[in-house]
Amino acid sequence: MIVFAVETSCDETSVCIIRENKKILSHVTYSQKDHIKFGGVIPELASRAHLQILQRISKKAILESGINNEDIDVVTATCGPGLIGCLLVGSTFAKSFSIGLNKPFVPINHLEGHLLSTTYNNNVTYPFISFLLTGGHTQIYLVKSINNYELLGETCDDAIGEAFDKIAKLLDLPYPGGPEIEKIAKNGDEKKFILPAPLSNKKDLNFSFSGIKTSISLIVKKNNKINSEFKSDMSASFQYTVTKILESKLRTVMNFLDNKKISVSNIALVGGVAANKYINSRIKKIVENFNCSLVSPPDFMLSDNAAMIGWACLQKNSTKVKSNLLFKANPRLSILGDNK
Ligand code: KG4
Ligand code: ZN
């Protein structure tokens, strides 16, 4: 089976052609640059950019794959959650392409794409725990099997990637902020600023990141020397605090599983923030203390990409492909089967 996959839920325009044996025949991703000067994604600019680029990169992907249009068996696209204008561009394009080819269209949930991305390169055993850490979401799932997910906790306010981006903006660092903060934190003192770690001692699995942002914003306002030393120290202190929160939630998850007599051997970190090596290495130590192993998708499946959408489509449709052309893009699409 050859799947043609489209991802346009936010500011990445991505197309992937993937075979059922996991072989990626081509993968073209365009990261929109227009948002950099605004320090965040502007939805209207993002959907217009998808519209301009999608057809071009689709042709490029088909050319690079060496296949013909007729060789495509299934067309799939992210149908939510995400920015509605962006979702509509990608899903409408993919639906039209599937009609033209007379091949089935399969809608995929973006979060499911992230959650299943880690099964691409790891032999995971179900159930496993997944920390979904992106610019739009911060959630902890018990992944029981494909199509069966239990949400254990999530952020009450900002997403973790959003926090990285907003702190970067306060420090006058470029967008997206996550990679920049990780880079300059290497030269900083992580104990320089004592920042709040909201909800980290609470025994539930929810997060809150907006208080850290307010606290940093106040320190930045009071300080008249925002030099590179200050930026590095603040980045290191922020990254340290955020990791401490993740570590504490990981311990709470393990405790929760123990009480419920659920045994897991894999903990996954997925989504753009999982690219952070500092977070990864600190979490890995705790995971290993619990005799589990930490799993992550390959680097090209961390930030938004169509390969994870094609891979999720293959796994969900390994026996029978169900076409669903009437599926409507939904900015709040859930993976818990409770979509209204
Ligand atoms: O998964 P993703 O590409 O998009 C969403 O689904 O939201 O995640 C993007 C987020 C951005 O907020 C970006 O700053 C963050 O991932 N990010 C990082 C790193 N690389 C990307 N955050 C921390 N450290 C990184 N190295
Ligand atoms: Zn994402």
For 103-127, how does the pLDDT look when each residue is reduced to its tens digit (9 = 90+)? 999 999 999 999 999 999 999 999 9
Q: DSSP readout, 222-238?
A: H-S---HHHHHHHHHHH
Ligand 1 proximity of 165 Cβ (cutoff 6 Å): yes
Q: Assess whether the C-beta atom of 39 lies below 6 angstroms from ligand 1.
A: no
185 close to ligand 1 (CB < 6 Angstrom): no
DSSP letter at 322 equals: -
What confidence tens digit (pLDDT) does each residue in 286-333 have? Answer: 999 999 999 999 999 999 999 999 999 999 988 889 899 999 999 999
* Average pLDDT for 23-44: 88
Residue entry with tokens 């799932």? 141
* Lowest model confidence (mean pLDDT) among 149-158, 218-227, 232-241: 218-227
- Ion ligand 2 neighbours, Cβ < 5 Å: 134, 304
CB 167 within 8 A of CB 177: yes
57, 13 in Cβ contact below 8 A?
yes
% of the chain residues with pLDDT over 90: 89
Mean pLDDT value of segment 41-65: 96
Sorted by sequence, the CB contacts under 8 Å of residue 224 that are 6+ apart come out as none
Q: State the Cα–Cα distance between residues 240 and 237, nearest whole angstrom.
A: 5
Helix (H, G, I), strand (E, B), or coil: what is residue 327? coil
Residue 174: count of CB within 10 angstroms of its CB = 12
Beta strand extents in the chain (DSSP E only): 2-7, 12-19, 24-31, 74-80, 105-109, 128-133, 138-145, 148-154, 266-270, 293-295
Q: Which of 89, 155, 102 is nearest to 329 (CA)?
A: 89
Asked if pLDDT for residue 340 goes beyond 60, the answer is: no
Ligand 1 atom closest to Cα of 136? Answer: 7
> Nearest Cα to 293, choosing from 258, 273, 256, 264?
264
In the chain, the percentage of residues whose pLDDT exceeds 70 is 99
The pLDDT value given to residue 201: 76
Mean pLDDT of the chain: 95
pLDDT in tens, 174-224: 989 999 999 999 999 999 999 988 888 778 899 999 999 999 999 999 987
Q: What is the pTM of this model?
A: 0.95
pLDDT for 186 = 98
Given a cut of 70, whether residue 47 has pLDDT beyond it is yes
Dist. CA 5 → ligand 2 center (Å): 15
- Residue of 181, 273, 281, 299 to mutate, ligand 1, most atoms within 8 A of C-beta: 273
Q: Name the band, by pLDDT with cuts 50, 70 and 90, for residue 38.
A: confident
Cβ(182) – ligand 1 distance below 6 Å? yes
Q: Ligand 1: which residue has its CA nearest to atom 19?
A: 178
Rounded CA gap, 57 and 134, in Å?
Answer: 24
Q: Which single residue is written with the structure tokens 């030269």?
A: 187
Q: pLDDT at position 339, please? A: 65
Distance 69 CA to ligand 2 centre (A): 27
CB 141 near ligand 1, within 6 Å: no
**To 5 degrees, how large is the angle CA 102–CA 104–CA 107?**
140
Atom of ligand 1 nearest to the CA of 9: 6
pLDDT in tens, 200-214: 877 889 999 999 999
pLDDT value at 164 more than 90:
yes
* Protein residue whose Cα sits closest to atom 7 of ligand 1: 135
Is the CB of residue 178 below 6 angstroms from any atom belonging to ligand 1? yes
Q: Say if residues 124 and 85 touch (Cβ distance below 8 Å).
A: no
pLDDT surpasses 80 at 338: no
> What is the atom index within ligand 1 of the atom nearest the CA of 176?
14
pLDDT at 246 over 60: yes
Identify the CA nearest to 239 among candidates 275, 205, 285, 263.
275
Instruction: Give residue 320's pLDDT.
Output: 86
Mean pLDDT value across residues 56-76: 98
Q: Residue 158 and residue 77: Cα distance in Å, rounded?
A: 26
